[in-house]
Structure 1
Amino acid sequence: MTDKDQTNDIGFNKCYQELLQRNVNQNFITFLLHLDGVGLCKSTKLKMWLFSGSIIGLQPKLRYRRYNMPLFSIWIGYKEPHPEVWLRNCIGMMRVIKKEGTQTFNNQRVDIKFLSITGDCPALKLILNFIGHGDYFCCWYCYLRGVHVNNKRQYLYENPIILRGASAYKEGCSEAERTKHNVFGHLG
């Protein structure tokens, strides 16, 4: 696979290329995970939530075809699913596959790598146990606090912007779980 068309696809970017170089003698398949909820009909609030994946090693035009996107889990209901209930078995299975890999027809081990997860704001809010996009501290990347101006929530630019790092994000999440209170958008 080459980037002759300069698509700047994930497979050609620096992080993925470094992953390939670090694992040059290893057989593996990389997945990008997707989470989304869609309404099934207008007359009711029946929704379908999907947890699926796409194989990064495939060319983009093949990667996003339905038959190349395995469905890991589905939830259909009138209310949002509880992520712990909905995804517990699926995530457990994925951990086993990630740890043990899988075997090909000629008994070669192939490791599975899950690189990241994407989704729309409601889906990510749900699985991250984070506040909605109209609340205070709703940005996943910074600590900008919303303010009320003329009965509307606004997010005024502040210089410098204080970004959340991965460790700060994890600490906020842990504190919210421990205290059962909202900590910079993390719900307890």
Structure 2
Amino acid sequence: GDARICLNCPTSADSNIAIIYDSDLMSILSILLKKLWKTICTYKEKLRSNNDVSGDLDIGFAYAYQNLLRKFPNENFITALMHLDGVGLCTRFFCLGIVLNDEIVKLKVLAVTGDSPALKIALDFIAHNGYYCCYFCYLRGIHQGGKRQYPYQCPHVMRTPGNFARDSSTAAQLKSNEKGHLGVSICSEILDIKLPYSIIIDYAHASLLRHSKSMFVEIYRRLSPVIRATIDIALSQQPFPHFFHRRMKSFKDLSFIKATEIRNILFYGFLPIFHQHLQHDYLGHFALYICAMRLFHGRAILGPRTSDIANDLIMKYYHDFNSFYDGLENFVLHLHSHYQSQYRMYGTFSHLGSFGQESYRLYRFQPNRYYAPR
């Protein structure tokens, strides 16, 4: 690709240069649409009729996408979900529409998702260890035990699109922290659903790699060495069907565990193994979390009340949390109190995990390179 040098950069030292890999978005989408157009048209009819035959509550059958269909009934469009993973953002070019078979197919950006550091950058927000760091509500948090904690509080004072835009604009004008806002988000002009309703919590990071992993470490720490060894053997020898692809890892290897492996332990391994070794009150409390996450993750097995029941379980878990654990009421635990709204807006969490998107490869291209100051 072309090498473009930033003339404003004070030095050409390697430490001040970042390489940005860029792709031709128009070309990528054109190729994908031409290849998948028949499948897209077939699926689009199901979405327009809201005919979720499988009952999986995919993104297209949830409120956010269905509302776009009602808002733009005569437009032919596809949607994109922006997944960020700690990569610096810049504005350069964005595709608004593609001509395919003499039809204009518009691109609408449904939402943005990513881990907390990435969303902090994208939303120009305070970090997850600051006051008012929640994108969805005005929970302030307290400083306790040398770190920021977010004890159970209900109901929340929610952020709306109006006050989200107003607070971010005030922060940009005054160059100050306005209830968590540090400025106007770079995504505000791109997203077709207003912030904060277009923010998706990446449950693979928040619930699996952060909260569940922290709980495994804490529970494992409380066990005797003999019981730890017994549990590690049971986890490593647990048989699974071939389509699981991964075996369970022992808790002594948690430093090198992946989100899918944590999910398997959380959903299928923890209760059958730990019920023999953990105090019943601790086991019952953590079972609330496991059942809630399984309901949010999978199809609506309890019908229209699935998200209500899952929310009741997760909020009971949150409410009683400080009776069992100290110093773990952090930001990721608080985010679970907003899962019901996300479920209703974007569907089951199994369709929102960013790890599947990270490994998804549909188009092979030679990236262009641009050089910019760090």
Q: Could you state the TM-score of these two structures normalised by the residue count of structure 1?
A: 0.63
Note the C-alpha offset of 1:181. 0.9
- The aligned counterpart of 2:152 is 157
Residue aligned with 2:113, SS: strand
CA deviations on 1:106-132 (whole Å, 9 max, x unpaired) are 332222211111111111101111111
Choose which of 59, 69, 78 in structure 2 pairs with 1:20.
69
- Does 1:131 find its partner at 2:180? no
Q: Residue 64 of structure 2 aligns to which amino acid in structure 1?
A: C
Greater mean deviation of Cα atoms: 7-16 or 20-29: 20-29
Note the C-alpha offset of 1:156. 2.5
- Does 1:114 find its partner at 2:109? yes
Choose which of 152, 167, 172 in structure 1 pairs with 2:162.
167
**What is the count of residue pairs matched by the alignment?**
134
Counterpart Cα distance in 2 of 1:142 and 1:160: 10
Structure richer in strand, relative to its length: 1
Change (3 A) 1:169 1:111: same
- The aligned counterpart of 1:43 is none
Counterpart Cα distance in 1 of 2:73 and 2:161: 28
Change (3 A) 1:144 1:14: closer
Residue aligned with 2:68, SS: helix
Counterpart Cα distance in 1 of 2:138 and 2:146: 22
Counterpart Cα distance in 2 of 1:22 and 1:161: 29
Q: Residue 29 of structure 1 aligns to which amino acid in structure 2?
A: I
Counterpart Cα distance in 1 of 2:125 and 2:71: 34
> Over aligned residue pairs, what C-alpha RMSD do you find?
2.0
- The aligned counterpart of 1:61 is none
- The aligned counterpart of 1:46 is none
1:24-173 matches, cutoff 5 A: 24-37=73-86, 49=87, 81=88, 83=89, 87-89=90-92, 93-94=93-94, 97-98=95-96, 101-104=97-100, 106-173=101-168
Counterpart Cα distance in 1 of 2:165 and 2:74: 33
Stretches of 4+ moved more than 6 A in 1?
none
Change (3 A) 1:5 1:155: same
Counterpart Cα distance in 1 of 2:147 and 2:109: 39
Counterpart Cα distance in 2 of 1:183 and 1:24: 38
Counterpart Cα distance in 2 of 1:18 and 1:172: 26
Residues 65 and 110, structure 2, Cα contact 8 Å, conserved in 1: no
Q: Which blocks of at least 5 consecutive residues in structure 1 are unaligned?
A: 38-48, 50-80
Change (3 A) 1:9 1:147: same
Structure richer in helix, relative to its length: 2
Note the C-alpha offset of 1:159. 4.2
- The aligned counterpart of 1:40 is none
Counterpart Cα distance in 2 of 1:7 and 1:182: 41
- The aligned counterpart of 2:253 is none
Note the C-alpha offset of 1:177. 0.6
- Which has the higher relative contact order, 1 or 2, with Cα contacts under 8 A spaced 6 or more apart? 2
Q: Residue 36 of structure 1 aligns to which amino acid in structure 2?
A: D
Counterpart Cα distance in 2 of 1:120 and 1:132: 11
CA deviations on 1:68-89 (whole Å, 9 max, x unpaired) are xxxxxxxxxxxxx3x3xxx210
Structure whose alpha-carbon radius of gyration is higher: 2
Change (3 A) 1:165 1:110: same
Q: Percent identity?
A: 44
Counterpart Cα distance in 1 of 2:173 and 2:76: 40
- The aligned counterpart of 2:54 is 5
CA deviations on 1:13-46 (whole Å, 9 max, x unpaired) are 2332343345444322221221113xxxxxxxxx
Greater mean deviation of Cα atoms: 168-177 or 15-24: 15-24
